[in-house]
Chains A and B, each alone.
Chain A
Amino acid sequence: MQPVATTFFFYFLSGLTLASGVLVITRKNPVHSALALIFGLLAQAGLYLMLYAPFVAGVQIILYAGGIMVLFLFVIMLVNLERSQKEEQFNKQWLVGIVAAAALGVLFVLVYMKGADLFPVRMTLPTESNNTQEIGVMLYGQYMFAFEIASLLLLVAIIGAVVMAKKRI
């Protein structure tokens, strides 16, 4: 499969992801934030496709955009108060928060500058026809233990969520 217009698609998709990130943290209405996050997740699935990870992209669309965000929208509809939108949106320590995040960003930049010779610039094009099969082999072979623990974790999460959302235990 020939890659077409890689540069344009990368800048478009990553721009969409970052713009959605900005919208998530700045919107007053949580439904608008959830909508922006959905678009960001879909753009990220596109980025995974560009990185030759089609299975992870499919899982992202099904689970994240189609499952977790539906859960978020349900809860937003349940707890949405008009009052919460008229209050202050940012808390008192917003400046300290932004300074801390900026320091983190500077740390990232330093790390990337120092370690830039670790990653090759030109990446080879892998075959993607059996990506799903190889992930399956790894998941059920090498990472079998982690797989079973993840299923146990999901069971615990289901029981916990059901118990906590009940009116009377």
Chain B
Amino acid sequence: MAPIGTLHYLVTAASLFVLGVIGVLTRRNVVIVLMSIELILNAVNLNLVAFSRIWGLHGQVFAIFVITDAAAEAAVGLGILIAFFRNRETVNVDEVDLLKW
């Protein structure tokens, strides 16, 4: 086995990213779409931290900011979900079509 280098971490992050994208594009439940977005953010974080090992601590600082933003975004996204659920009684993404012609 080759010694674990940066490429291993990047490949893991890329696969996680692709899985998150599949989740966002194919699932109908809004909560699971939001969780797939968290997967995407985690893949980005892994990438940042893997590169910060070589090129200095800036990657880790940026990863901390990404985690903070993910928390804010999850809170607002779930607030929107609750508000929508109160009106429409469904968590299906296809039902969010009030602005469709």
Task: Give residues 112-143 of A contacting B (CB, 8 Å).
Answer: 112, 116, 119-123, 126, 131, 134-135, 138-139, 143
CB <8 Å contact, B57 and A112: no
Task: Give residues 2-39 of B contacting A (CB, 8 Å).
Answer: 2-12, 14-23, 25-29, 31-32, 34-36, 38-39
Chain A proximity of B7: nearest CB distance (Å):
6
Chain B proximity of A29: nearest CB distance (Å):
10
| Complex CA–CA separation, A153 to B28 (angstroms) | 29
CB <8 Å contact, B4 and A71: no
CB <8 Å contact, A105 and B14: yes
Chain A proximity of B43: nearest CB distance (Å):
9
Tally A-B pairs: CB < 8 A: 243
Chain B residue contacts of A96, Cβ below 8 A = 25
A104 contact from B18, B28, B57, Cβ within 8 A: B18
Q: Knowing A79-B81, A121-B3 are in contact, say whether A25-B23 is a contact too (CB < 8 A).
A: yes
| Complex CA–CA separation, A25 to B89 (angstroms) | 23
- Interface secondary structure of B, over-half rule: helix
The chain B residue sitting closest to A100, CB to CB, is: B25
Task: Count contacts on A: residues with CB < 8 A to the other chain.
Answer: 86
Chain B proximity of A97: nearest CB distance (Å):
3
| Complex CA–CA separation, A164 to B34 (angstroms) | 17
CB <8 Å contact, B25 and A47: no
Chain B residue contacts of A150, Cβ below 8 A = 65, 68-69
B35 contact from A34, A63, A93, A160, Cβ within 8 A: A34
Q: Knowing A22-B19, A139-B61 are in contact, say whether A7-B1 is a contact too (CB < 8 A).
A: yes
Chain B proximity of A15: nearest CB distance (Å):
9
The chain B residue sitting closest to A163, CB to CB, is: B79
CB <8 Å contact, B7 and A116: yes
A25 contact from B22, B78, B91, Cβ within 8 A: B22
B29 contact from A21, A30, A52, A116, Cβ within 8 A: A30
User: Quick check: is B96 within 8 A (CB to CB) of the other chain?
Assistant: no
Tell me which of B9, B57, B83 has the highest count of chain A C-beta atoms within 10 A of its own C-beta: B57
Interface residues of B (CB under 8 A from A): 1-12, 14-23, 25-29, 31-32, 34-36, 38-39, 42, 45-46, 49-54, 57-58, 60-61, 63-65, 67-76, 78-83, 85-86, 89-94
List 16 interface pairs A-B (beta carbons < 8 Å), by A numbering: A6-B3, A7-B3, A17-B12, A18-B15, A33-B31, A37-B35, A37-B39, A59-B64, A68-B70, A75-B81, A79-B31, A90-B28, A100-B25, A112-B11, A112-B14, A138-B57
